[in-house]
């Protein structure tokens, strides 16, 4: 680690306030170029601690930048990991208030809930498949706190990987009934198809994103408990939305997820 504890806490407060007040900030690596990966995750952990201390429950984990489309869009080459809190959840078919957000984008994500703990190192697609209780679809609304949605990987990790809102919809299915690689996803905005992909867009298999997450957490002495909701990352590039937009995502075999931005 390059940053001391006081700086980690100060940066966590800085980035989290930007989230809660919906105002953008310059990316933190501009001011702390020496920041390393451990610092970045330590800032994210401190944001999580702040939210939990305030009474917000952590209700899921997320992998980000797991598809080539997303990596290309954001100019990075490595996935990253974050969490989602209870207050970020919105109902399927509901409204998302853009006044609470800076410059939201939507992403279609194949999600799982685990029925057994996953502890890296050594997790792979097989380990993950054996630990999946069921699969369900979601839309993540990401909202980078960084100006013009421009960042580097360390800054975005410190910003809890742009986590902002999420909508779970469709219907849960047993993993045996699905082929997660060929599962098709069609993203519509205002009735027009704007992006589509299949599950394999995520690291060749969405379970690979979960394996990578388990190995990442294992290296930090943590495990993914049974019963964890995990978002495996946007299958296509993220689509910008504004007040007045409607989004509907159709997931093969899993139903659809929709929302309206107001
Ligand atoms: C980082 C978060 C990416 C995903 O699913 O790829 C993410 C970002 O692009 O702002 O959640
Ligand atoms: Mg995402």
Report domain extents, the chain: 58-261
When pLDDT is averaged across residues 41-59 and rounded to a whole number, the result is 98
> Among 7, 11, 28, which Cα is nearest to 147's?
28
Q: Whose CA is nearest to atom 4 of ligand 1?
A: 64
Both tokens of 186, joined, read: 């069609």
Instruction: Give the rounded percent of residues in the chain with a pLDDT score beyond 90.
Output: 98
- pLDDT tens per residue across span 143-168: 999 999 999 999 999 999 999 999 99
Cβ(249)–Cβ(137) below 8 Å: yes
pLDDT at 42: 98
Q: Looking at residues 35-51, what average pLDDT do you find?
A: 98
Is 79 near ligand 1, meaning CB less than 6 Å away? Answer: no
Arithmetic mean of pLDDT over the chain? 97
Closest-CA residue, ligand 1 atom 11, reads 64
Distance between CA atoms of residues 189 and 246, nearest Å:
6
Length of the chain: 262
Identify the CA nearest to 231 among candidates 58, 77, 102, 75.
58
For residue 161, the ligand closest to its alpha carbon is 1
Q: How far is the CA of 109 from the centre of ligand 2 (A)?
A: 7
Give the strand pairing for 105-114 and 239-240.
antiparallel
61 CA from centroid of ligand 1 (Å)? 12
CB of 162 shorter than 6 A to ligand 1: yes
230 and 164 in contact (C-beta within 8 Å)?
A: no
pLDDT at 107: 98
CB of 98 shorter than 6 A to ligand 1:
no
Q: What is the pLDDT of residues 84-133, one digit of tens each?
A: 999 999 999 999 999 999 999 999 999 999 999 999 999 999 999 999 99
- For residue 82, count CB atoms less than 10 angstroms from its CB and return exposed for 0-12, middle for 13-18, buried for 19 or more: buried
Tell me the residues surrounding ligand 2 (ion) with CB < 5 Å: 64, 107, 140, 234
CA atoms within 13 Å, Cβ hemisphere of 64? 30
Helices marked H in 93-189: 125-131, 153-158
Share of the chain above pLDDT 70, in %: 100
**Which residue's CA is the nearest one to ligand 1's atom 5?**
233
pLDDT value of position 77: 87
Residue 156 alpha carbon, nearest atom of ligand 1: 1
Determine whether the shortest distance from the Cβ of 107 to ligand 1 is under 6 A. Answer: yes
CATH node for 58-261: 3.90.850.10
Say what the pLDDT of residue 213 is: 98
Global pTM?
0.98
Distance 97 CA to ligand 1 centre (A): 20
């Amino acid at each position: 680690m390059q940053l001391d504890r006081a700086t980690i806490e100060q940066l966590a407060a800085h980035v989290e306030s930007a989230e809660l007040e919906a105002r953008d900030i310059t990316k933190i690596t501009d001011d702390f170029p020496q920041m390393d990966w451990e610092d970045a995750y330590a800032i994210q952990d401190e944001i999580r601690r702040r939210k939990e201390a305030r009474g917000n429950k952590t209700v899921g984990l997320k992998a980000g930048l797991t598809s080539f489309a997303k990596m290309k869009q954001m100019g990075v080459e490595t996935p990253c990991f974050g969490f989602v809190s209870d207050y970020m959840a919105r109902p399927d078919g509901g409204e998302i208030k853009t006044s609470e957000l800076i410059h939201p984008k939507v992403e279609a994500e194949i999600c799982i809930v685990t029925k057994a703990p996953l502890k890296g190192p050594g997790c792979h697609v097989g380990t993950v498949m054996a630990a999946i209780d069921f699969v369900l679809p979601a839309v993540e609304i990401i909202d980078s706190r960084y100006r013009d949605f421009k960042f580097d990987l360390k800054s975005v990790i410190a910003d809890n990987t742009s986590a902002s809102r999420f909508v779970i919809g469709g219907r849960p299915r047993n993993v045996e009934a699905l082929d997660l690689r060929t599962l098709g996803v069609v993203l519509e905005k205002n009735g027009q198809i704007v992006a589509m992909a299949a599950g394999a867009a995520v690291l060749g298999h969405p379970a690979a994103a979960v394996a990578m997450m388990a190995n990442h957490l294992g290296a930090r002495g943590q495990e993914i408990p049974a019963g964890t909701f995990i978002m495996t990352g946007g299958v296509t590039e993220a689509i910008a939305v504004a007040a007045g937009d409607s989004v509907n995502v159709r997931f093969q075999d899993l139903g659809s997820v929709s929302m309206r931005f107001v």
